Amino acid sequence: MISIDLANDVEIAKELQDYLKSKGIDSHLEAAEIKIDKTAFDLKIFKSFLKYTNRTKHSVKKINSKLFLISISVGVEDLGMGTCEICGLVDFEEKLFSHRWTHGI
């Protein structure tokens, strides 16, 4: 079985289940997570669902071989965070300022 987590959005989960049914794919809905048979899985179906429902901000991410996530991506910058240019550490901007001193910049 493959699980598709819809980030606690029950409305989208129901819409996706209906969409899968219209494509002849059996699925099982549990809260905001849909389970389908591994043999019926095709990533293109989920991308076409997002396009069909005009959810341009959503994307499909592979978490592991049995779990996929459909959600709106949020960048670290939107959360007031940043990345150290030297080592790649991700932290809040205030902490990054002092962290950069450890690199001598």
58 shares its domain with 80: no
pTM of the model: 0.70
Please check whether residues 62 and 85 belong to one and the same domain: no
**What residue numbers bound the domain in which 78 lies?**
74-105
CB atoms within 10 A of CB 2: 16
What is the mean pLDDT of the segment spanning 90-97?
A: 90
Give the total number of structural domains in the chain: 2
Whether residue 81 sits in one domain with residue 55: no
pLDDT at 104 over 90: no
Residue 15 and residue 57 in one domain: yes
Q: Residue type for 8, please? A: N
What confidence score (pLDDT) does residue 78 get? 78
Dihedrals phi, psi of 43, to nearest 5 degrees: -55, -30
